[in-house]
Amino acid sequence: MEHAIVLFDGDCNFCDSSVQFIINHDPAGYFQFASLQSEIGQELSKKHNVPDDVDSLVLIEGGEAYVKSEGALKISHHLTGLWKLAYHLQPFPRVLRDGAYDVIAKNRYKVFGKLDSCMLPPPHIRKRFLDQF
């Protein structure tokens, strides 16, 4: 099975919760994960020309990198339940979608805080993380 990779801010509570949410709604294991701060996260960002100012969530799928609302909506398309419906927000102008995304991303540390340490997922989930534990 082909996998997509989600790069996330490993210091952010909101991003950590988002990763856990994706895991819980991705029983097929389509997504793999790596923090942006990790060596592999840095390598993948560089390889896929992710802009330096992106610091919250990146989806790498089919050899392309998707950031901000585009990445989030593409992720939603693969989730179980009603979350798939969020994908249908794509017709909305990107400037509006990204504007809302940027407000959340800019304030995520203030609202949700920073992590002192990363979660250590159980072994059956750990294999989906590209970072070394």
pLDDT in tens, 90-107: 778 888 888 877 777 777
Q: Looking at residue 12, what is its pLDDT?
A: 60
Which pLDDT score is estimated for 115? Answer: 57
Q: What pTM was estimated for this model as a whole?
A: 0.79
Chain CA centroid to CA 55, Å: 10
> What is the pLDDT at residue 111?
63
At 1 the pLDDT is: 59
- Phi and psi of 12, rounded to 5°? -105, 125
Res 73 pLDDT > 70: yes
- Write the CB contacts of 73 (distance below 8 Å, at least 6 apart in sequence): 86, 87, 89, 90, 97
65-69, 75-79, 105-109: range with lowest mean pLDDT: 105-109
Question: pLDDT (tens digit, 9 = 90+) per residue, 13-54?
Answer: 666 778 888 999 999 999 999 988 899 999 999 999 998 887
